[in-house]
Amino acid sequence: MIIRTYGDTDFITGLRAIAATMVVIMHTGALASLSDFGGVVNSAGKYGVDVFFVISGFTVAKTFTDATGYRPYLIRRLFRIVPLYWVMICAGLVSARSGVDVSNWMTDLEASPDVYNLVMHLSLLSYLDYRVANSVLGVEWTIPVEIFWYVMLPVFLGFAKTLSRVFGAVFVLAVLTGVLSYLSKAFLGTSMAVKWSPVASGHWFFVGAFTYVLRNRLGDHVSAGMTTLAWGAIGMFALAVSFKFTGRGEIIGLATAVLLVTASTTRVPALTRVLAAPVMLFIGSISYSIYLAHPLVIALFHSAGINTGSGFVDFLAIYAVTLLLSTMTYVVIERPTNRAGAWLANRDGGRVNPV
């Protein structure tokens, strides 16, 4: 079975579906040429990554809390994300060595599809060299960042248990990001070395972890205020997608966090029915494959000279092929390795409760 269900938190899978689709829309230029409004909505696609990061913080807190120890928790997290990442990185490098660059950053930053690039990616340390960090797929910089916080966030979960501590962690990371960005520009001439590092996105993982803590504290409490907050988060999300202004990513990330706390089948049944519809659960279940596979599909279309002249039509075709490919990679790679990770974690003393 491809669709993954988690009961009252099925809506999170729907949010993953939206985040993945946002990223594909941006990279295909699906709406960019339709109108000025379409261009604004299209450009918001990059903030799908912020949605993923907030959800990842929630997931780290949940899976670590459910596990009986750090080691079984980490086994499951690594088996969840690393195998498919390695396969897609190898596919991207093979494509680049064949003369088809999947990522424009390969050329722009003068990287090469060589052994060094491969080792940096497979070691999950590619963020240490911005020239290769995003050079293979054009989206892969986020994966080593997630792995970094999978490893480190459990150590600092105490900072995600109160709002004041979360603000403190976010403040420290913001200052550190600013200082490192200044130094990066001064010595390297670019802030990319920080933008694609764990430091710059770390605040979303703390925010996501706090949403798990707060959701547990609230339990099944239902009130008009909670319902208003949930629908207000949807309004914030729609506003940030529809209008271009400074801080759009922050609004989308915070809206996602509010939904993780407030959304439930008892508080906002209409909203959760939409987010937990079968098609949303299907897309959300394979969203990780969609995220990593769609740049390869786009490169395949470009190398084959397939271009209808309509960004939206191209998006529909690329999205359809990506869904097909992602279903295959989920069945062949993700599901077996997820099960292997759960089995190993169980042997090591962890509880099998996949997220």
Q: What is the mean pLDDT of residues 110-132?
A: 97
What confidence score (pLDDT) does residue 42 get?
Answer: 95
**% of the chain residues with pLDDT over 90:** 84
This prediction has a pTM of 0.93
Yes or no: say if 149 and 60 are a contact pair by the CB < 8 Å rule: yes
Statement: residue 152 has pLDDT above 90: yes
Which amino acid is present at 8? D
Statement: residue 354 has pLDDT above 70: no
Q: What is the mean pLDDT of residues 214-236?
A: 90
Which amino acid is present at 262? T
What confidence score (pLDDT) does residue 6 get?
Answer: 72
Angle at which helix 311-329 crosses helix 10-28, to 10 degrees, equals: 130
For 53-92, what is each residue's pLDDT tens digit? 999 999 999 999 999 899 999 999 999 999 999 999 999 9
Q: How far is CA 4 from CA 14, 48, 274, 279, 321, in A?
A: 11, 20, 16, 12, 21
What confidence score (pLDDT) does residue 355 get?
Answer: 44
- In this structure, the number of other CB atoms found within 10 A of the CB of residue 137 comes to 28
Statement: residue 352 has pLDDT above 60: no
Residues 6+ apart with CB under 8 A from 166: 159, 160, 206, 207, 210
For 256-306, what is each residue's pLDDT tens digit? 999 999 999 888 999 999 999 999 999 999 999 999 999 999 999 999 888
| Tokens 């008892």 -> residue | 266
Q: Which tokens is 2 given?
A: 């491809």
Rg for the chain (alpha carbons), in Å? 20
Q: Is 272 helix (H, G, I), strand (E, B) or coil?
A: helix
What confidence score (pLDDT) does residue 40 get?
Answer: 95
Per residue, the 3-state secondary structure of 101-112, as one string, reads CCCCHHHHCCCC
What confidence score (pLDDT) does residue 65 get?
Answer: 92
| Tokens 């508080």 -> residue | 267
What confidence score (pLDDT) does residue 349 get?
Answer: 60
* 96-101: Cβ within 8 A, 24+ apart: 96/136, 100/299, 100/302, 100/303, 101/299
1-11 burial: b if 16+ Cβ within 10 Å, else e: eeebeeeebbb
Q: What is the largest CA-CA distance in the chain?
A: 58
Yes or no: say if 145 and 201 are a contact pair by the CB < 8 Å rule: yes
